[in-house]
Amino acid sequence: MANKTILLCLNETGRLPQLLSAARHLGVRFNAHIRGLYVIPGVTIYPSAGYGTGPDLYDGNRVWFQDRLEKTRSDFEAVMKADSIPYDFQMVDSSRPNIIDDVLDNGYDTDLIVASNLPRDDSNNIDSDFIERLVLSAGRPVLVLPAQGEVKLDLSTIVVAWKDGRESARAIFDALPFLQKAKHVRLMSVDSSLRGGLEGATIAESLDRHGVKVELANISSDGAPIGEVLLRAAKDENAGLLVLGAYGHGRFTQMVFGGATRHVLKNQDVPVLMSH
């Protein structure tokens, strides 16, 4: 198991330097092929305002991304060539106004998807639920970079959030390529003593057979949100990566995250590897 094909989502152009830095680091570390993906969305069609009028068309987002295509392509190719990282650049001229479906279509055959979180305001031209939909629908691990600040993708120390269950199991095995290269892996269970003992002993044995030595730790939430506790633990450990199973559920036709996952994304200050 290795990260040999990595999809880099380039549409969050405000975070392009951080995305390219992460791609460079991953490409060199894993000897991986980086696929840069840039989607130009289609026009947005709004229903007609009244009888006898046609639908309204909005092409503002489409023009915005068209204007930034060549710089994005040029910057991406320059970084890849500087370190002789194998790559390809895919530009999708979409007929759909939202980019998520095109990103998903291009991510199913990759080992890892890298994207930036989005500012919690109107300063971007991407749907605000893009990351949530990507993580819950990709079927691939997603490395989410923070929406602001510099990104230190230091993979020597990794904190893994552990809770017995499908999502955590999926995340930890999706993270194996990272864990096998780390010097220090800390497996964190929150309030496990309340559930009857220290969790993670059996998964630690399984990881050991993959050459990953982990330290088990139970931390108390003291009533704080679990997502806050996990981010604080990652900071205390000076971790360069937090591994987290993304807990989600369906609400009518909308996919939404559970509380801990939502809190981590909303307050993220460290790269987070998520699986669902």
pLDDT in tens, 70-115: 999 999 999 999 999 999 999 999 999 999 999 999 999 999 999 9
**161 with 203: CB under 8 angstroms?**
no
- Mean predicted lDDT score pLDDT of the chain: 89
Place of tokens 């496990």: 192
List C-alpha distances in Å: 196 to 166, 167, 230, 244.
19, 20, 20, 22
Give the residue, 59 or 178, on which the prediction is more confident.
178
The model's pTM is 0.91
pLDDT in tens, 111-139: 999 999 998 765 667 888 899 999 999 99
| Spatial CA neighbour of 25 closest among 175, 200, 167, 151 | 151
36 pLDDT band, cuts 50/70/90, is: very high
Pairing of strands 272-275, 241-245: parallel
Reply yes or no on whether the pLDDT at 49 is more than 90. Answer: no
Place of tokens 């699986």: 275
Taken in order of first residue, the domains within the chain and their CATH numbers are 5-145 (3.40.50.620), 157-275 (3.40.50.620)
| Spatial CA neighbour of 246 closest among 221, 267, 265, 232 | 265
How far is residue 199's CA from residue 203's CA, in Å, rounded to a whole number? 9
pLDDT of 253 reads: 36
In order, the DSSP letters of 75-89 are HHHHHHHHTT--EEE
Q: Which residues pair with 39 in a beta bridge?
A: 92
